[in-house]
Protein backbone atom coordinates (compact mmCIF):
# COMPACT_ATOMS: atom_id res chain seq x y z
CA UNK A 1 0.00 0.00 0.00
CA UNK A 2 2.99 2.30 0.48
CA UNK A 3 3.40 2.53 -3.31
CA UNK A 4 -0.17 3.71 -3.83
CA UNK A 5 -0.73 7.47 -4.28
CA UNK A 6 -2.48 9.35 -1.48
CA UNK A 7 -6.21 9.84 -2.00
CA UNK A 8 -6.60 13.57 -2.48
CA UNK A 9 -9.72 15.59 -3.28
CA UNK A 10 -8.69 15.99 -6.91
CA UNK A 11 -8.71 12.21 -7.46
CA UNK A 12 -12.36 11.74 -6.46
CA UNK A 13 -14.98 11.62 -9.22
CA UNK A 14 -18.74 11.41 -8.62
CA UNK A 15 -19.90 7.92 -9.57
CA UNK A 16 -16.49 6.40 -8.91
CA UNK A 17 -16.70 2.99 -7.21
CA UNK A 18 -13.89 1.99 -4.87
CA UNK A 19 -14.92 -1.63 -4.66
CA UNK A 20 -16.93 -4.01 -2.59
CA UNK A 21 -15.43 -5.14 0.68
CA UNK A 22 -16.63 -8.37 2.31
CA UNK A 23 -16.93 -8.13 6.09
CA UNK A 24 -17.53 -11.40 7.91
CA UNK A 25 -19.68 -11.11 11.02
CA UNK A 26 -17.59 -13.74 12.75
CA UNK A 27 -17.32 -14.95 16.33
CA UNK A 28 -14.52 -12.49 17.13
CA UNK A 29 -16.68 -9.51 16.17
CA UNK A 30 -19.57 -11.01 18.13
CA UNK A 31 -17.44 -11.45 21.25
CA UNK A 32 -16.16 -7.85 21.04
CA UNK A 33 -19.71 -6.53 20.51
CA UNK A 34 -21.04 -8.51 23.46
CA UNK A 35 -18.22 -7.32 25.75
CA UNK A 36 -19.51 -3.79 25.21
CA UNK A 37 -23.27 -4.26 24.83
CA UNK A 38 -23.95 -7.60 26.52
CA UNK A 39 -25.23 -10.85 25.09
CA UNK A 40 -28.32 -10.81 22.93
CA UNK A 41 -31.08 -13.37 23.45
CA UNK A 42 -30.92 -14.63 19.86
CA UNK A 43 -28.54 -14.91 16.92
CA UNK A 44 -29.73 -11.74 15.16
CA UNK A 45 -27.08 -9.27 14.04
CA UNK A 46 -27.54 -5.86 15.72
CA UNK A 47 -28.00 -3.01 13.24
CA UNK A 48 -25.02 -1.30 14.87
CA UNK A 49 -22.82 -4.03 13.39
CA UNK A 50 -23.93 -2.95 9.91
CA UNK A 51 -22.67 0.54 10.73
CA UNK A 52 -19.38 -0.95 11.95
CA UNK A 53 -19.11 -2.99 8.72
CA UNK A 54 -19.79 0.14 6.66
CA UNK A 55 -17.05 2.07 8.44
CA UNK A 56 -14.56 -0.80 8.15
CA UNK A 57 -15.26 -1.07 4.42
CA UNK A 58 -14.98 2.71 3.95
CA UNK A 59 -11.61 2.81 5.69
CA UNK A 60 -10.27 -0.23 3.85
CA UNK A 61 -11.53 0.83 0.39
CA UNK A 62 -9.87 4.24 0.28
CA UNK A 63 -6.19 3.94 1.17
CA UNK A 64 -3.81 5.59 1.74
CA UNK A 65 -5.67 8.51 3.27
CA UNK A 66 -4.36 11.89 4.34
CA UNK A 67 -4.21 12.66 8.04
CA UNK A 68 -6.77 15.12 9.33
CA UNK A 69 -9.97 14.04 7.55
CA UNK A 70 -13.16 14.81 9.46
CA UNK A 71 -16.21 12.51 9.49
CA UNK A 72 -18.75 15.34 9.36
CA UNK A 73 -22.00 13.35 9.22
CA UNK A 74 -23.73 10.23 8.02
CA UNK A 75 -27.23 9.31 6.93
CA UNK A 76 -28.35 5.67 7.06
CA UNK A 77 -31.31 3.72 5.72
CA UNK A 78 -31.80 0.26 7.25
CA UNK A 79 -33.88 -2.22 5.28
CA UNK A 80 -36.31 -4.58 7.06
CA UNK A 81 -34.01 -7.59 6.64
CA UNK A 82 -32.78 -9.58 9.62
CA UNK A 83 -29.23 -10.88 9.43
CA UNK A 84 -27.57 -13.34 11.76
CA UNK A 85 -24.11 -13.59 13.23
CA UNK A 86 -21.84 -15.59 10.95
CA UNK A 87 -23.14 -14.06 7.74
CA UNK A 88 -20.94 -11.97 5.45
CA UNK A 89 -21.88 -8.38 4.67
CA UNK A 90 -20.59 -6.98 1.36
CA UNK A 91 -20.25 -3.18 1.36
CA UNK A 92 -19.85 -1.24 -1.89
CA UNK A 93 -18.20 2.15 -1.41
CA UNK A 94 -18.49 4.94 -3.99
CA UNK A 95 -18.05 8.69 -4.39
CA UNK A 96 -21.45 10.36 -4.61
CA UNK A 97 -20.35 13.97 -4.88
CA UNK A 98 -17.63 16.43 -4.02
CA UNK A 99 -17.39 20.18 -3.67
CA UNK A 100 -15.08 22.84 -2.37
CA UNK A 101 -16.77 25.29 0.00
CA UNK A 102 -15.10 28.05 1.98
CA UNK A 103 -11.68 26.50 1.43
CA UNK A 104 -12.72 23.03 2.58
CA UNK A 105 -13.05 19.85 0.54
CA UNK A 106 -16.38 18.11 1.10
CA UNK A 107 -16.84 14.58 -0.20
CA UNK A 108 -20.00 12.46 0.07
CA UNK A 109 -19.34 8.73 -0.08
CA UNK A 110 -22.06 6.19 -0.72
CA UNK A 111 -22.21 2.85 1.03
CA UNK A 112 -24.53 -0.02 0.12
CA UNK A 113 -24.43 -3.10 2.34
CA UNK A 114 -25.87 -6.40 1.23
CA UNK A 115 -25.86 -10.03 2.23
CA UNK A 116 -26.53 -12.84 -0.23
CA UNK A 117 -27.31 -10.13 -2.84
CA UNK A 118 -30.06 -8.61 -0.67
CA UNK A 119 -29.59 -4.96 0.30
CA UNK A 120 -29.68 -4.53 4.06
CA UNK A 121 -28.54 -0.92 4.50
CA UNK A 122 -27.49 2.10 2.49
CA UNK A 123 -26.03 5.37 3.54
CA UNK A 124 -23.95 8.44 2.92
CA UNK A 125 -20.79 9.39 4.76
CA UNK A 126 -19.96 13.10 4.48
CA UNK A 127 -16.31 13.92 5.05
CA UNK A 128 -14.22 17.03 5.10
CA UNK A 129 -11.20 15.76 3.17
CA UNK A 130 -7.85 17.04 4.40
CA UNK A 131 -5.91 17.14 1.14
pLDDT at 41: 85
Cβ contact 107:9 at 8 Å: yes
Domains of the chain and CATH, by start: 9-129 (3.10.129.10)
Residues of the chain scoring pLDDT < 50: none
Whether omega for the bond prior to residue 64 falls within 30 degrees of 0, making it cis, is: yes
pLDDT tens per residue across span 65-93: 999 999 999 999 999 999 999 999 999 99
- Half-sphere exposure at residue 53, Cβ-oriented, CA atoms within 13 angstroms: 33
Q: What DSSP string describes 59-115? A: HHHS-S--TT-EEEEEEEEE-S---BTT-EEEEEEEEEEEEEETTEEEEEEEEEEEE
Quote the pTM value.
Answer: 0.93
Amino acid sequence: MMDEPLWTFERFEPGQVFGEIAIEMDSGKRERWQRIYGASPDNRLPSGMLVAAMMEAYIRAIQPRPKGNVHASQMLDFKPVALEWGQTVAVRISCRSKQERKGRYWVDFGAVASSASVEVMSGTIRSIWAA
